[in-house]
Amino acid sequence: MSKITSFLQLALKTLVSLSLVVGGVVAFVVLGEAKSESDKPVTEDIRLVEVQTAQPHDDGITFEVDGVVVPYRELHLGAEVAGRVVEKSDHLRVGRVVSADQPLVMLDRRDYELDLERLQEELDQAKGNLQEMDVQIASTEGQIRLAEENLTIQTRAADRIRTLVARNATTESSLDEALRAELTAKTSLQTQKDELSLRKASKTRLQNAADRIESEITLAKLQLSRTTVKSPIDGVVVEDNVEQDSYLQKGAAICSIRDISKLEIKCSLQAYQMKWLWESSTGSTEKRKLAAYELPETPVTVRYRIGNETYLWDGKLTRYDGGQVDQVTRMIPCRVQVENPHKVQRIDEDGNVSSLAEVPTLMVGMFVQIDVHVTPRSPLVSVPISALYPGSRIWIAEGDLIRHRKVTIADSDDEQVLIYAVEGHLQPGEKVVVSPLSAPFDGAKIEVVK
Beta-carbon contacts of residue 144 (< 8 Å; ≥ 6 apart) = 189, 192, 193, 196
Catalogue the E-assigned strands of 247-307: 247-248, 253-259, 263-269, 298-306
**Alpha helices, H only, 226-236:** none
- Residue 389 has φ and ψ, to the nearest 5°, of -115, 160
Q: Give the pLDDT of residue 24.
A: 61
Q: How far apart are CA 316 and CA 296, in angstroms?
A: 10
Cβ(221)–Cβ(119) under 8 Å?
no
DSSP-derived secondary structure letter, 379: -
Question: What type of residue is 203?
Answer: K
- Chain centroid to CA 30: 91
Query: What are the average pLDDT values for consecutive 10-residue runs of the chain, which has 450 residues?
Result: 53 60 56 46 66 84 91 94 94 92 95 95 94 93 92 90 84 86 91 93 94 96 95 93 93 93 92 81 49 80 88 91 87 92 82 69 90 84 87 84 84 84 79 83 80
Q: Give the pLDDT of residue 217.
A: 96
Q: Give the pLDDT of residue 134.
A: 93
**3 state SS of 244:** coil
Q: How far apart are CA 403 and CA 368, in angstroms?
A: 44
Candidates 307, 287, 305; CA nearest to 296 is: 287
The domains located in the chain, with CATH, are 49-60+379-448 (2.40.420.20), 62-69+262-374 (2.40.30), 73-108+227-259 (2.40.50.100), 111-223 (1.10.287.470)
Residue 337 burial class via C-beta count within 10 angstroms: exposed 0-12, middle 13-18, buried 19 and up: middle
Q: Give the pLDDT of residue 290.
A: 54
Question: Model confidence over 304-313: pLDDT tens digits?
Answer: 988 888 899 9
Candidates 102, 150, 71, 89; CA nearest to 338 is: 71
Cβ(334)–Cβ(295) under 8 Å?
yes
Question: What type of residue is 284?
Answer: S
Q: Give the pLDDT of residue 36.
A: 43
- Residue 83 has φ and ψ, to the nearest 5°, of 165, 165
**Strand 103-107 with 380-384, pairing:** unpaired
**Strand 47-49 with 446-448, pairing:** parallel
* Residue 77 burial (CB count, 10 A): 21
Helices (H) and strands (E) in the chain, counts: 4, 26
Kindly state the greatest CA–CA separation across the chain.
221
Q: How far apart are CA 318 and CA 331, in angstroms?
A: 17
Candidates 59, 105, 380; CA nearest to 242 is: 105
**Alpha helices, H only, 34-66:** none
- Examine residue 360 and say whether the peptide bond preceding it is cis (omega within 30 degrees of 0): yes
Q: Give the pLDDT of residue 331.
A: 92
Residue 129 burial class via C-beta count within 10 angstroms: exposed 0-12, middle 13-18, buried 19 and up: middle
**Strand 393-398 with 401-406, pairing:** antiparallel
Question: Model confidence over 160-206: pLDDT tens digits?
Answer: 888 888 888 778 888 888 889 889 999 999 999 999 999 999 999 99
Q: Give the pLDDT of residue 9.
A: 60
Q: How far apart are CA 298 and CA 284, in angstroms?
A: 8
Residue 249 burial class via C-beta count within 10 angstroms: exposed 0-12, middle 13-18, buried 19 and up: exposed
Q: How far apart are CA 376 and CA 159, in angstroms?
A: 103
Q: Give the pLDDT of residue 230.
A: 95
- Residue 226 has φ and ψ, to the nearest 5°, of -75, -5
